[in-house]
Structure 1
Amino acid sequence: MFHAGRTMFKMPPVVSHILVLVLFSAFCAALTDTCGQTDNLPDPSKQCCGIDLSDDHRETSGDAALNQFPWLALIEHSAGRITCTGVLISSRHVLTAAQCLYHAPKNVRLGEFNKTNSGPDCLHINGKKKCTGGALTIPIGSVIAHPEFARPNFHGHDIAIIKLAERVPYNEFIRPICLPSSDITALPPDGLRLINAGWGSGPKSTHEDDVVKHYVELPYVPLKRCQEIYRSKLNQLASKIGDTHICAGGEKDLDSCRGDGGGPLMSEQNGRYSLEGIVSFGPVPCGREGVPSVYTRVYSYLPWIQSVTTS
């Protein structure tokens, strides 16, 4: 619907459909021209990061749309085994948890929806069939864990950067997320909810639930409150939580879980997503009421991320 003064004009369906295709083609062309393959981190003020093209509106938690969260990455180890998630931050770099480097990852898989399907993934949306182009598997060139990360005590500085062996092209199903341009924990809005997405096993999921990309909205928990909760319920971990962490969750059966390690904790504003945290640790079993999970706070590591990706 278009508005001109008080007169409303309804566009014919065919014209409307053509306009959508034209706008989408223009968007993709602009994406290719201005957001081409580069090692540089995208500017959050541009249209090159943090935007998905999903028009398949869904609930606040559940299966994601095919083209939703196109920065999600699967980290493959030997024989295609997947144990962690990552987040594309440039056409050459994937951010993940340092603990995910334990098993010497070999490849990163991007543009995935159903991780057990070797070809394009398809869904019927509003009576129309929509398909991906199939996942893209890229060899890993090098990995760099934060220098202060220590195994087996992985509760601090749990962050790492994977440099891909080659740059990946951006499209509807593969593109980077924005890194935060400000500290969301400084003045968090009332009722702030953050988003975790990936292929991990939820608190009540079955194997069939884990094969497709899904997401969950989680309440933000201030750091001091998070420390108090862990002190009273998981005392052995309370001292591990500090200023380089961000907490979210605590609602029964809603949580990041096994297989989500290294995955994103995201904020969303006006359709643009920013990477606020990286899945690090939480209660066992996950989804425990009253106990949030703990994420590496990405904002704390922006200088390190910048130095690694530009070296």
Structure 2
Amino acid sequence: MLIQCLLAAILVFQACLATPFGLKPKITDGEDAIPGEFPYQVSIRWGIPPLIPLNHACGGSILNERYILTAGHCVLKFGKLKVLAGKHHISKDEDTQQEIAVERAIVHEKYPGGVAPYDIAILKLKTPLIFNKRVSAITLPRQNEIRTGKAVLSGWGSISKKLRPLLPEVLQKVTVPVLDNQSCLNKFPNNIIGKKPELYDSQICTDAVGEVSACSGDSGGPLVQLENNTPIQIGIVSWGVMPCGVNRVPSVYTRVASYVDWINNIINL
């Protein structure tokens, strides 16, 4: 696994830099969020205590008091996961934060690992979150609906435009345009990841405005549109190209609308 990460890290941030091997995976060229602006956003920590301390690995979003939505590649077959909600500063303890261990991780049964479709997972918490102004749930779209326009990405992913990740201190945000898949594919050079990347109907892209990009540590985090002031999650950060931003290529997400029935089947059991 470590060898695979070292090889893949040169080109894509998804499957390896999103998982923590001593790397603390800001949205490149984003801006500071306002504390409490994204109450559905969580930090997912991974580690192997006491050998490897629990550190930020991925983002996620709150489905309800007991369930968190994230990417499939954020779930490893070893180590421990915990979720921190109500966070703004990534490395400081805050009065608003709630820290809860993960009881169970449910990765989509068709996800093969790596850069692939079905990159989605749900984390069940050992104890429920307590909802308040700083901790609340995201809203899901309708099954299979197609959304266009602009969306807001939030996360604590790397702000670096080099291969070595650099965490921001506070939650970052950026507004980006949603791309149709054909336009998205046309923006990828043929050999950017060794071959022309594939995109599926169950994936969605956002364009790189200037050098804005999702980056390592944003993985699993929410891409959201506001509808009558209600945040609706349309994407989960899945993969992109490193160094972040400088290549001016799109970021790729799991399309949440393709999996609404799957999500509801799990959280309603």
Report TM bin, short chain.
0.7 to 0.9
In structure 1, list runs of 5 or more residues that go unmatched. Answer: 1-59, 121-133
Partner of 1:143, secondary structure, is: strand
Alignment match of 2:100 (pick from 138, 142, 155): 138
Q: Report the residue type matching 2:45 in the other structure.
A: E
SS state at 2:234 partner: strand
The separation in 1 between residues aligned to 2:118 and 2:179, in whole angstroms, is 20
1:77 maps to what in 2? 46
Conserved? CA contact 1:202–1:255, under 8 Å: no
Residues 1:80 and 1:239: Cα distance change in structure 2 (over 3 Å) = closer
Cα deviation for residue 230 of structure 1 reads: 2.6
Q: Amino acid of the residue matched to residue 95 of structure 1? A: L
Corresponding residue number in structure 2 for 1:29? none
Aligned length: 234
What's 1:119 paired with? 94
Counterpart-to-counterpart distance in 1, 2:145 and 2:129: 29
Out of 15, 32, 37, the position equivalent to 1:63 is: 32
Is residue 142–residue 260 contact of structure 2 (8 Å, CA) maintained in 1?
no
Note the alpha carbon deviations across 1:175-228, whole angstroms, 9 max, x for none: 011011365536x3xxx1111101111245998861211101111111111122
CA distance in 1, matches of 2:88, 2:221: 15
* CA distance 1:281–1:271, shift in 2 (3 Å): same
Which residue number corresponds to residue 148 of structure 1? Answer: 110
- Assess, with a 3 A threshold, how the Cα gap between structure 1 residues 212 and 301 changes in structure 2: closer, same or farther: same
Which 4+ runs in 1 deviate beyond 3 A?
203-209, 235-239
Which one scores higher on RCO, CA 8 angstroms, separation ≥ 6?
2
Check 1:61–1:82 CA distance in 2 against 1; reply closer, same or farther (3 A cut): closer
Greater shift in the superposed pair: 65-74 or 266-275: 266-275
Structure 2 CA distance for aligned equivalents of residues 176 and 247 of structure 1: 23
Instruction: Provide the identity percentage.
Output: 29
Pick closer, same or farther for the CA change 1:219–1:203 going to 2, 3 Å.
farther
| Deviation of the 1:289 alpha carbon | 5.1
Cα distance in 1 between the residues matched to 2:165 and 2:241? 21
Query: Unmatched 5+ residue regions in structure 2?
Result: 1-28, 48-52
SS of match in other structure, 2:264: helix
| Residue of structure 1 aligned with 2:82, choices 104, 107, 110 | 107
Give distance in 2, aligned partners of 1:167 and 1:87: 14
Deviates further, 163-172 or 284-293: 284-293
Q: Does 1:260 align with 2:260?
A: no
